[in-house]
Amino acid sequence: MHRLPHAARLSSIACIAMAFSTPAAAADFNPADTSVQMFRWKWNDIAKECTNWLGPQGYGAVQISPPHASRKLDFWYDVYQAVNYTRLDSRMGTEAELQAMINTCHAAKVRIYADVVVNQMADGAGTGTATDGSSWNAATQSYPHFSAPDFHAACVIQGGDYSLADRTKVTSCRLNNLPDLNTGASYVQGQIRNYLNKLVAMGVDGVRLDAAKHMAPGDIAGFLNGVSRTTKAGEPLWFTQEVIPDSGVKANAYLATGSVNEFHYVYAMKEMFQNVNGAAVADLPRFMGSPSTGWGGTWGFIPSDKATVFINNWDSERGEHAPSSLVASNFTGVPNDTQGTKRYQLANVLMLAWPYGAAQVHSGFRFTRSEQPPPATSPFDANGKPLINQAWDFIHRWPEISNMVGFRAATSGQGVDNFATGTRNQIAFSRGNKGFVAINNDPAAWTTTQATGLPSGTYCNVINGQLNAAKTGCSGDAVVVPANGAIKFTLGSVNGATVPALALHANQKVGASASRSTKGAN
């Protein structure tokens, strides 16, 4: 949840008018192991990327920015200042374009998850100036479908309120002075329910509930009662909640209604990769636990099947949140720090290799000031070629991250074996007999011999390449695993020019074919 002074987050509540599409069958989708947050990407551009990259690369879902009608501001967060939930004409496109994007992504085997906010409304006032032409007035609490009786009293959340045992102010007062809907009222719950059902009827496969900590768990359970929990494709509706933890708010309180964004994971990754408080990547099993020892660890992680994890999102790479998360330094306008970028890349590799939570890659845009709006330019040139690392960062296409999507799918259901360390910044482990990963977050190179758990054969190192179409060789490094499964290798320094990691998996074995269970993965 964005807490910057101007930031007002909002997303969802709408009503009926349903645009139906022909749903994809659940069996036709890519494995759901990895999704990507396509922050502020327009619907037409996401549709193109689903067809050209996300589908073929094996991504299971795209999480889109809030699709409701919102206030127009010259800031990245204006889509979180909702005005009208019944109309889905947004900064990212029209309702018709949203429907077309859903259909196109489904055809490419990619699900759609919608980011929604239902506890606040836009600040200020405007006449016919919202993205759909709606009018509103925050002073009189007048919005399409909402009026003053639908809101909580006009108190404001203060910093100290988060540590109180009585959480009433956090769930009933205004965040950033935004009018706060009474999500416990039956009428308001009905509007939220209508909005969510509309999205599901359009083919949306999942929902991320923004600012869940600012709603009582009982309120969330109330408006979910009556929401279709089965998608048009026949899968359970994916539902995750943003709960940034503090001394008075714990993620466990929200597990009854769905999974939760595990921000402890974000903080732990930063500490391990930047060696904060003496931490290092070797602390991984101690920090979060493992499949064999159970989840929790010293950070108190929630169970894996209830966690959504990421290295950063649009909030955590900006403003007051940035010091608590790992971000590549060149995203924020400071001089490029090769080591910082490598650590960010390695953290994503580790997230996709370690079997905890539902993993989300973040892909957004470059900025030089915290509140900067997204680029006006398309992510593609006139010929449809992606403009990578220009205005839009295209992190989801960075090979060391994108190729790990297939690793996560291929190793799904496997445990962690052969965990080993060099220095405390150097780790290696296998995933059953399906995958092997080694990471060097150290300023010194690492030469070592490690057990991979893999059957003998030649494998592509997906950090820098993949199998060719004929499956006879690799576009990058090839690694020969002997009969005993142990390999000797050298990883360069984290200060070097290449990503110091090695990742091998069963579906990238020269001469082998993908197993049925990982169809669509690389």
What pLDDT, on the 0 to 100 scale, is given for residue 329? Answer: 52
Cβ proximity of 519 and 409 under 8 Å = no
What pLDDT, on the 0 to 100 scale, is given for residue 182? Answer: 98
H helical segments located in 119-185 = 168-172
Question: Cα(494)–Cα(343) distance, rounded to whole angstroms?
Answer: 7
Tokens of 188: 């308001």
What pLDDT, on the 0 to 100 scale, is given for residue 323? Answer: 74
* 87-135 tens-digit pLDDT: 999 999 999 999 999 999 999 999 999 999 999 999 999 999 999 999 9
Residue 515 has pLDDT above 60, yes or no: no
* Residue bearing tokens 């990212």: 92
Domain boundaries, the chain: 26-261, 417-518
What pLDDT, on the 0 to 100 scale, is given for residue 7? Answer: 33
Cβ proximity of 481 and 459 under 8 Å = yes
pLDDT band at 248 (very low <50, low <70, confident <90, very high): confident
How confident is the model over 67-78, as a mean pLDDT?
A: 95
Contacts of 9 (CB under 8 A, 6+ apart): 1, 2, 77, 80, 81, 117, 120, 175, 178, 210, 211
Question: Can you tell me whether residue 105 is helix, strand or coil?
Answer: helix
* 255-313 tens-digit pLDDT: 999 999 999 999 999 999 999 999 999 999 999 998 888 999 999 999 999 999 999 99
pLDDT band at 239 (very low <50, low <70, confident <90, very high): very high
What pLDDT, on the 0 to 100 scale, is given for residue 167? Answer: 87
* 133-147 tens-digit pLDDT: 999 999 999 999 999
How confident is the model over 80-90, as a mean pLDDT?
A: 96
- CATH homologous superfamily of domain 26-261? Glycosidases (3.20.20.80)
What pLDDT, on the 0 to 100 scale, is given for residue 325? Answer: 83
Question: Cα(338)–Cα(497) distance, rounded to whole angstroms?
Answer: 8
pLDDT band at 24 (very low <50, low <70, confident <90, very high): confident
Residue 325, CA distances (Å) to 153, 265, 317, 373, 475 in order: 34, 9, 7, 21, 33
* Residue bearing tokens 């709408």: 14
What pLDDT, on the 0 to 100 scale, is given for residue 249? Answer: 84
pLDDT band at 11 (very low <50, low <70, confident <90, very high): very low
Question: Cα(88)–Cα(204) distance, rounded to whole angstroms?
Answer: 13
pLDDT band at 338 (very low <50, low <70, confident <90, very high): low
pLDDT band at 164 (very low <50, low <70, confident <90, very high): confident
What pLDDT, on the 0 to 100 scale, is given for residue 512? Answer: 76
What pLDDT, on the 0 to 100 scale, is given for residue 339? Answer: 57
Question: Cα(302)–Cα(61) distance, rounded to whole angstroms?
Answer: 23
Point out the residues that are catalytic: 210, 242
In 3D space, the residue among 153, 257, 172 whose CA is nearest the CA of residue 215 turns out to be 172
Query: In degrees to the nearest 10, what's the CA dihedral of 355, 315, 211, 133?
Result: -130
CA neighbours closer than 13 Å in the CB half-sphere of residue 254: 29
pLDDT band at 76 (very low <50, low <70, confident <90, very high): very high
Residue 20 has pLDDT above 60, yes or no: no
What pLDDT, on the 0 to 100 scale, is given for residue 513? Answer: 62
What pLDDT, on the 0 to 100 scale, is given for residue 518? Answer: 38
In 3D space, the residue among 265, 263, 216 whose CA is nearest the CA of residue 242 turns out to be 263
How confident is the model over 212-238, as a mean pLDDT?
A: 97
Q: Which carries the bigger pLDDT value, residue 7 or residue 332?
A: 332
How confident is the model over 483-506, as a mean pLDDT?
A: 97
How confident is the model over 401-413, as a mean pLDDT?
A: 98
Question: Cα(90)–Cα(72) distance, rounded to whole angstroms?
Answer: 10
Cβ proximity of 401 and 59 under 8 Å = no
What pLDDT, on the 0 to 100 scale, is given for residue 318? Answer: 84
Phi and psi torsions of 426, nearest 5°: -130, 120
Cβ proximity of 446 and 433 under 8 Å = no
pLDDT band at 21 (very low <50, low <70, confident <90, very high): very low
Phi-psi region of 356 (alpha: psi -120 to 50; beta: other; left: phi over 0): beta
Question: Can you tell me whether residue 117 is helix, strand or coil?
Answer: coil
pTM of the model: 0.92
Cβ proximity of 237 and 203 under 8 Å = no
Tokens of 283: 């602390």
Cβ proximity of 253 and 302 under 8 Å = no
- Give the domain 417-518 fold: Immunoglobulin-like (2.60.40)
Of all residues in the chain, what percent carry a pLDDT higher than 70? 91
Computed over every residue of the chain, the mean pLDDT equals: 90
Tell me which range, 245-249, 400-404, 508-512, is most confidently predicted by mean pLDDT. Answer: 400-404
Residue 420 has pLDDT above 70, yes or no: yes
* Residue bearing tokens 């101007």: 6
